[in-house]
Structure 1
Amino acid sequence: MDDRTLLARIRELVDEEHELRTRFTTGQLSADEEHARLGAVEEALDQCWDLLRRRRAARETGGDADSVAPRTTGEVESYLQ
């Protein structure tokens, strides 16, 4: 996945996040539904941002950005723990 594709995916996820919050505040979505889907969206966003940062770092240090593989959700979410 190249940077352009990653940025497009990030935009899609942010749009979905905003849509979920709007649907919840207007009563179209229950709190449980919003919470479950928001959690998945936030994890996907974290993975995308992590991959984008690591690709950029690889390029800045003379590495091959295309060789950087995405990390699992568990790796990304437990990074600071």
Structure 2
Amino acid sequence: MADDIDIQARIKGLIEEEHGLRSQLGAGEISVEEENQRLRSIEVELDQCWDLLRQRRARREFGEDPGAAQVRDAKVVESYRG
């Protein structure tokens, strides 16, 4: 992901996909299991995107290169949850 705009666009796309899954479930096009599996994957990717944005903003705030921020492993990002 190159910059904040790209990350924000990815976040928007994931949220739209999440809404689409809920609609598909409501229409009987996918099973609850399919929805849950994909929603979990979306949730993890969203957490990674938000984490990356926070890293970039913190680096910028402290005069560091925001481009040096890295997507963290899902296990790392998910361990932040309380």
Q: Settle same-fold status: TM greater than 0.5.
A: yes
Are residues 1:63 and 2:64 paired? yes
Q: Could you tell me the TM-score, scaled by structure 2's length? A: 0.93
**Separation in 2 of the partners of 1:78 and 1:18?**
25
Q: Which runs of 5+ in 1 are unaligned?
A: none
Q: What pairs up with 1:2-81 in 2 under 5 angstroms?
A: 2-80=3-81
The one-letter amino acid paired with 2:7 is: L
The answer to which of 21-30 and 11-20 deviates more is: 21-30
What is the RMSD computed on CA atoms of the aligned residues? 1.0
Report the identity percentage.
Answer: 48
Q: Could you tell me the TM-score, scaled by structure 1's length? A: 0.94
Q: Which runs of 5+ in 2 are unaligned?
A: none
